[in-house]
């Protein structure tokens, strides 16, 4: 599966807001080093560089297309490296290990989060935001269609019913490695505009992220058929308003742990 920075950044404002709200809750005045895990196209790392002008920032990601986009803005204090976060461990600890909308792609968070905390310097912070929307109609419908008789041979293996654990579980996994853990959730009422191409806005939103493993496993004709089935369900769950826009409630989980 490969990422498409242009598709992902179609909803840049809505995707950036939680990234900035996470950064706003990090109680560090001037971290010298920052790791941005799953940095994607680097647009969040650039905001971190503005917020902490003295910091050296390294963005880590496994996707070459995302890294190529990110490197368009690389500089002396802003570098991007290829890494698989499933194995990542800092060579020397960072003052801030930050990750926006990336770690839900990884499994075994009970082992992952303590490992990430170990890459934070004493007095530093681990700050993470992940979508916490698996029970939303959009995700329930995707999982139901992928597991249906029509698709399950090709798609059932991509269904992840619970990619993100509860705030309490993260608290328990991080507390032994932290002086303080702050965990909270926010539900955004996202107003997605009508699209010129007529596609249901929730389908277009999900194409940039959640749908990627599913569509990557299908040829073009099957992708169209699968998308049409999803669009029918999305139109019922998120009916277009008079102007063709939709309201798409979206929950996210935030964590800030201080070492």
Residues of the shown chain interacting with ligand SAM in the complex, contacts defined by CB under 6 A:
3, 15, 19, 38-40, 43-44, 61-63, 66, 83-86, 100-102, 105-106, 209
DSSP string, 2-70: ---HHHHGGGHHHHHHHHHHHHHT---S--SEEEEET-TTSHHHHHHHHHSTT-EEEEEES-HHHHHHH
CA separation for the pair 37, 57 (Å, rounded): 11
CB nearer to ligand SAM: give 2 or 168. Answer: 2
Question: To the nearest whole angstrom, how small is the minimum distance from the Cβ of residue 103 to ligand SAM?
Answer: 8
Q: Euclidean distance between the first and final Cα of the chain, in Å?
A: 35
CB nearer to ligand SAM: give 85 or 134. Answer: 85
Residue 46 bridge partners (DSSP): none
Question: To the nearest whole angstrom, how small is the minimum distance from the Cβ of residue 97 to ligand SAM?
Answer: 13
In three-state secondary structure terms, 211 is coil
> Do the Cβ atoms of 243 and 162 come closer than 8 Å?
no
CB nearer to ligand SAM: give 111 or 180. Answer: 111
Question: To the nearest whole angstrom, how small is the minimum distance from the Cβ of residue 229 to ligand SAM?
Answer: 24
CB nearer to ligand SAM: give 42 or 233. Answer: 42
CB nearer to ligand SAM: give 101 or 146. Answer: 101
Question: To the nearest whole angstrom, how small is the minimum distance from the Cβ of residue 59 to ligand SAM?
Answer: 8
Q: Which residue is nearest to ligand SAM (CB)?
A: 40
Question: To the nearest whole angstrom, how small is the minimum distance from the Cβ of residue 227 to ligand SAM?
Answer: 19
CA separation for the pair 104, 38 (Å, rounded): 10
């Amino acid at each position: 599966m490969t990422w498409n920075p242009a598709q992902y950044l179609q909803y840049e404002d809505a995707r950036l807001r939680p990234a900035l709200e996470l950064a706003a809750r990090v109680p560090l005045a001037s971290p010298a080093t920052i790791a941005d895990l799953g940095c994607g196209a680097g647009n969040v790392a650039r905001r971190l560089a503005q917020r902490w002008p003295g910091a050296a920032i390294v963005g880590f990601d496994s996707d070459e297309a995302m890294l190529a986009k990110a490197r368009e803005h690389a500089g002396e204090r802003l570098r991007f490296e290829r890494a698989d976060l499933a194995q990542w461990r800092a060579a020397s600890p960072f003052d801030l290990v930050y990750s926006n909308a990336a770690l839900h792609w990884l499994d075994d968070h009970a082992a992952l989060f303590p490992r990430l905390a170990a890459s934070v310097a004493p007095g530093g912070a681990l700050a993470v935001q992940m979508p916490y929307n698996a029970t939303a109609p959009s995700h329930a419908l995707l999982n139901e269609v992928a597991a249906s008789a029509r698709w399950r041979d090709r798609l059932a293996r991509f269904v992840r019913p619970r990619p993100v654990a509860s705030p309490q579980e993260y608290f328990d996994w991080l507390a032994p490695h932290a002086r303080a853990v702050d965990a909270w959730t926010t539900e955004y009422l996202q107003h997605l505009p009508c699209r010129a191409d007529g596609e249901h806005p929730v389908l277009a939103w999900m194409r940039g992220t959640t749908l990627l493993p599913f569509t990557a496993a299908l040829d073009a004709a099957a992708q169209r058929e699968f998308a049409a089935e999803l669009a029918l369900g999305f139109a019922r769950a998120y009916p277009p308003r008079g102007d063709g826009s939709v309201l798409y409630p979206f929950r996210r989980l935030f964590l800030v742990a201080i070492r």
